[in-house]
């Protein structure tokens, strides 16, 4: 009977320990995604690109090309005035990759009005959640993203960014 009690307690402790680890990983992914969004809002493009998936940086012509594009600004006088990221609800392990989906809300000013969009970031960690990099879903489907990033789980719940909806 002692062995059964000891095993039960051991399983309970290990279960609680793994849940704490999961919560820590979710919190770390959220903090990094929020830092990335805040960096972009402050025009701290180096910090923003540090958290952008390296393959996206390469596919876009490198850090300098992206920083030049960011400095040109958004078209038609569009200005992002607020960005927020919701904490991820779950983690997925796909091979050696830990990943999650985070919903992102942006409020922007366009043509004298305020508009809101809802989109998603995919967080990927290749080192058990110690560091994260992010892929913006934008107008792409999960299938399209998986064509370039085969390690992205089919189980992630992400959708293309919504069209800007008026707030005023």
Residues pairing with 85 in the sheet: 104
| pLDDT of res. 70 | 86
Q: What is the pLDDT of residues 63-96, one digit of tens each?
A: 999 999 888 877 767 788 889 999 999 999 887 8
| pLDDT of res. 22 | 86
Under the banding of pLDDT at 50, 70 and 90, the label for residue 21 is: confident
Alpha-carbon distance of 160 to 143, in angstroms, equals 11
Q: What is the pLDDT of residues 96-135, one digit of tens each?
A: 899 999 999 999 888 889 999 999 999 999 999 999 999 9
Alpha-carbon distance of 158 to 102, in angstroms, equals 8
| pLDDT of res. 3 | 56
Residues pairing with 109 in the sheet: 79, 114
The H-or-E segment that residue 13 falls in is: helix 2-41
Alpha-carbon distance of 4 to 14, in angstroms, equals 15
Please report, rounded to a whole number, the percentage of residues in the chain having pLDDT higher than 70: 86
pTM confidence score: 0.83
Q: Is the pLDDT of residue 138 over 70?
A: yes
């Amino acid at each position: 009977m002692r062995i059964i009690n000891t095993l039960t307690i051991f399983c309970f402790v290990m279960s609680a320990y793994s849940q704490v680890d999961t919560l820590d990983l979710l919190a770390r992914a959220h903090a990094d995604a929020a830092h990335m969004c805040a960096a972009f809002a402050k025009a701290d493009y180096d910090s923003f690109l540090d958290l952008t998936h390296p393959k996206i940086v390469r596919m876009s012509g490198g850090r300098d090309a992206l920083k030049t594009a960011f400095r040109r600004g958004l078209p038609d006088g569009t200005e992002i005035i607020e960005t927020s990221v919701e904490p991820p609800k779950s983690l997925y392990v796909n091979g050696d990759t830990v990943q999650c989906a985070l919903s992102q809300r942006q409020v922007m000013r366009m043509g004298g009005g305020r508009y809101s969009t809802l989109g998603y970031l995919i967080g990927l960690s290749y080192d058990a959640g110690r560091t994260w990099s992010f892929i913006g879903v934008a107008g792409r489907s999960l299938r399209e993203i998986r064509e370039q990033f085969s390690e992205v789980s089919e189980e992630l719940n992400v959708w293309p960014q919504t069209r800007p909806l008026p707030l005023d």
